Amino acid sequence: MGDYPPTDSARLIADRYELRGRLGQGGMGAVWRAWDRKLRRVVAVKEILLPDQMGERERAERHARVLREARAAARISHPGVVTIHDLVDSGDHPWVVMDHVPGESLRERMASRGTIPVGLALDLADTLLAALGVAHEAGVIHRDIKPGNIMLGHDDQAVLTDFGIATISEATVVTETGGLLGSLEYMAPERLADEDDTPASDLWSLGVTLYAALEGRSPFHRKNSSSVLHALVNAPVPAPRNAGPLAPVISGLLRRDVNGRMGVEEARSLVERARAGRGASVAGAPTPTGDAVPAEPDTARREIMELRAEAERNIRQMRDATERDCQRVLANAERQAREQAGRIVADAEAEADRITGEARREVEALTRRYDDVRSRLQQLRGVLGGGGTPA
């Protein structure tokens, strides 16, 4: 890892950890490469930022929960789980100090090289299943397994990060956009129903992660969050085409029925059997042509039927949406027409009232003039008849 010389310009956390560079940024904060002044070693420091929209009480509860679960995660001892060394409070939010794993995340590997070889996927599955078994035995659930939280270190050794930290993502996964949409694609469907988190939820997320690593993207990848939610709950789970002997494991982990979902022991048994059948692991080597196992005819027909069914559902949804849009347009047009007609009638009534008022005033004026003339005539007749002079 190498030593970093001390510096006065670096940001210092808890009078011990010098932040030397940002390793990553996400919806829950940032990860920094740091120098531990006390033990003189490089570490990774996770800065956990709670959402701004949280109230003070909720913020305090979430803060305490993050620290509690991070402490529980610190008790996990397994090469497939990043080691947590320290928890500190600085700047009104928690910081988690952990091992610095040189390498790249599985997400970065997929972005730079595409899908991974089946051999490497088997190694990842074996390591991560064993890690989850130890964590679940200790009562710790990860909640956010995805390619971005899996580091590939020396010799592509998989290390699962962010244990005990993903607890704060629950309040933001639906409202956040962009990066957190990726987390949604890996979320177990039962979590969408506000059911309690269980080890089975982690196993579903691992199944989606392995599928994405071998096929290039999550089976629930869609253009927007509402489509992702619909796919998670209703869309058929497509069978992986490039998983080879790992296909039954992925299919078992992606059963929507929590009680019927494959467990850690069964999955590990299948993975170990598959690795033994392949001989020595060739993790990290370029994928031989034989690794890409073509789909069987029945599988291909089933996939075609699933795609056709999904296309028909999409067409129905588009037709329904178009009908709803047309109904909204017609309703708006009718409302505007009624409002305009009402305004015209009101204006006409006001004009009629004005004209009527003016006519009434003119009639009253004429009536007064008529009465005045008649009165004067009567006076004149009286004068002429009586020989007097009119006043």
pLDDT digits (tens, 9 = 90+) for 133-157: 999 998 889 988 999 999 999 899 9
* 300, pLDDT greater than 60: no
**pLDDT tens by residue, 59-78:** 888 788 778 878 888 889 99
CB 10 within 8 A of CB 18: yes
Residue 5 lies in a domain: no
* 167, pLDDT greater than 80: no
Q: How confident is the model at residue 6 (pLDDT cuts 50, 70, 90)?
A: low
Domain boundary (234, 261, 294) is at 294
One domain for residues 108 and 221: yes
Q: Can you state the angle between helices 199-215 and 118-137, rounded to 10 degrees?
A: 170
The pLDDT of 245-266, averaged and rounded, is: 96
Active site residue 144: yes
Known binding positions: 46
Residue 228 lies in a domain: yes
Residue 78 lies in a domain: yes
One domain for residues 247 and 326: no
CA-CA distance, 222 to 102, in Å (whole number)? 32
Q: How confident is the model at residue 50 (pLDDT cuts 50, 70, 90)?
A: confident
CA-CA distance, 1 to 252, in Å (whole number)? 39
Residue 279 lies in a domain: yes
The values of phi and psi at residue 286, to 5°, are -60, 145
* 15, pLDDT greater than 80: yes
One domain for residues 108 and 254: yes
Average per-residue pLDDT in the chain? 82
Q: How confident is the model at residue 328 (pLDDT cuts 50, 70, 90)?
A: confident
What's the pLDDT score for residue 327? 80
More confident residue, 7 or 307: 307
The whole domain housing 177 covers 11-294
CA-CA distance, 17 to 31, in Å (whole number)? 13
Residue 390 lies in a domain: no
Q: How confident is the model at residue 299 (pLDDT cuts 50, 70, 90)?
A: low
> What single string gives the DSSP state of each residue in 80-94?
TBPPEEEEEEETTEE
* 294, pLDDT greater than 80: no
One domain for residues 199 and 299: no
Give the domain CATH number at 198: 1.10.510.10
CB 145 within 8 A of CB 160: yes
DSSP letter at 42 equals E
Q: How confident is the model at residue 173 (pLDDT cuts 50, 70, 90)?
A: very low
> What single string gives the DSSP state of each residue in 51-75?
-TT--HHHHHHHHHHHHHHHHHHHT
One domain for residues 259 and 218: yes
Domain boundary (294, 320, 339) is at 294
Q: How confident is the model at residue 303 (pLDDT cuts 50, 70, 90)?
A: low
One domain for residues 121 and 31: yes
One domain for residues 284 and 206: yes
Q: Give the HSE-up count for residue 264: Cα atoms under 13 Å, Cβ half-sphere.
A: 17
Q: Give the HSE-up count for residue 274: Cα atoms under 13 Å, Cβ half-sphere.
A: 24
Q: How confident is the model at residue 42 (pLDDT cuts 50, 70, 90)?
A: very high
One domain for residues 71 and 103: yes
CA-CA distance, 51 to 66, in Å (whole number)? 13
What's the pLDDT score for residue 64? 83
The pLDDT of 51-56, averaged and rounded, is: 78
The total number of structural domains in the chain stands at: 2
What's the pLDDT score for residue 305? 64
One domain for residues 283 and 300: no
Residue 323 lies in a domain: yes
Domain boundary (294, 329, 358) is at 294
One domain for residues 328 and 227: no
List beta partners, residue 105.
Answer: 151
CB 137 within 8 A of CB 155: no
**At which residue do the structure tokens 């679960």 appear?**
69
One domain for residues 83 and 188: yes
Tell me the three state secondary structure of residue 1. Answer: coil
Pick the range with the lowest mean pLDDT from 67-71, 79-83, 98-102.
67-71
Q: Which of 144, 156, 162, 291 is catalytic?
A: 144
What's the pLDDT score for residue 293? 39
Residue 46 lies in a domain: yes
Q: What is the pTM of this model?
A: 0.66
Q: Express as a percent the part of the chain with pLDDT over 90.
A: 47
One domain for residues 212 and 322: no
Start-to-end Cα distance in the chain = 128
Residue 342 lies in a domain: yes
What's the pLDDT score for residue 296? 44
